[in-house]
Amino acid sequence: MKKVQIRILAMTLLIVSGVQTVSAQSPVADSKRERILQVLDQSRPNEYVPAAFFLHFENKLGRKAVQDHKDFYRATNMDFVKVFYEIAVPKIDIKSGKDWEKVPVYGEDFFEPQVAVIEDLAREFKGEAFILPTVYSPLALAGQTLGFENRKNFKKLVEENPTAFGKAIKNLSLSIENYLRAARKHGADGFYVSSQGGDGNSLSPEVWNKYVRQWDKHVSEVAVEIGEINILHICDYGTPFKNAEALYAFADYPASIINVPLNFSDGTTLNLKEAQKRFGRPIFGGLERLGVIAKGSVEEAKAAVDELLKNASPNFILGADCTVPGDTDWDKLRAVIDYAHTWRQTHK
């Protein structure tokens, strides 16, 4: 009798469990952390398409900044927690090229307010999603050092004394390293490393190659040494890359995923499938930061996602090529992100 009962119970269980449907990478018990990691499986396309957009918040640091990040993450349903980099290195009065030598290495303590935001967000979300703080490049920090008014003299001040400029870049890179190590110790899982990103394309190739590149790359190397998963953002803020080949010059920068610019100054656009092949890594991005995601309706944005995902790389995360405008409608972002998540399951 007992055996019969067990049999009936087992059958009932089987029937009940048989009702749910399953699919590859279906979120049965998988967290957003695992869904991002699944994108790294280049033996097949990721069926769940993670998505993330970023915008600068009104509050930069402190409790209110943490709250903004939380609200944005929850409201948009994006797949990782990207922490904005909002701490600027002090302005230094650089009148001549030699003054670049005044730039020091900033220690971990300098970054404390930024790390505090990371720590709070990690406490809240680390269990469910990756905490990926943004990291600016040494060049971007050199721009901060100059200050906004002096930035027009940037090129001139570099060329006056490239060696001193190289020292400043090195010190800034070592400062960023201190930030990365502090952030990792306080809960960051990895980093969104914004390489180049200070109008490096306006520098002469000689200065870029001799004084900047190795220290720009150093940031990615440190991130990869200490972080579980890292995204390399190849920033074309300021001056676009000439063509795709110029972009592929970054293929020796380490990182798990590449966030790419889309348009080049010669009028060509990036082929995402080709980009995955050339970088040998999954691609993140695809939408233009000032395109329909910023200005269009939800329907227009979805149509752009349709077009994009039809031609996306097999291993892909949806996003923009950089930060979207601060006044972008959060509900629209949510609609687009939710739409992307199931797109490959609904458009076979």
| Residues at the contact surface with another protein, assessed by CB under 8 A | 7, 10-11, 13-14, 17-18, 20, 22-26, 28-30, 33-34, 37-38, 40-44, 126-127, 181, 184-185, 224-229, 254-256, 280-281
Provide CB contacts within 8 A for 114, sequence distance 6+. 61, 85, 86, 87, 133, 179, 183
**Shortest CB 10 distance to another protein, Å:** 5
Closer Cβ to another protein, 152 or 347, answer by number = 347
Closer Cβ to another protein, 34 or 93, answer by number = 34
To the nearest 10°, report the CA torsion of 114, 120, 123, 125. Answer: -80
CB atoms within 10 A of CB 148: 9
3-class SS at 284? strand
**Shortest CB 60 distance to another protein, Å:** 26
Residue 103, token pair as written in the block: 């730039």
Closer Cβ to another protein, 80 or 100, answer by number = 80
**Shortest CB 272 distance to another protein, Å:** 17
Closer Cβ to another protein, 133 or 166, answer by number = 133
- Report the alpha-carbon distance of residue 81 to residue 72 in Å, rounded: 9
- Report the alpha-carbon distance of residue 344 to residue 341 in Å, rounded: 8
Closer Cβ to another protein, 34 or 274, answer by number = 34
**Shortest CB 35 distance to another protein, Å:** 9
**Shortest CB 211 distance to another protein, Å:** 26
- Report the alpha-carbon distance of residue 121 to residue 123 in Å, rounded: 5
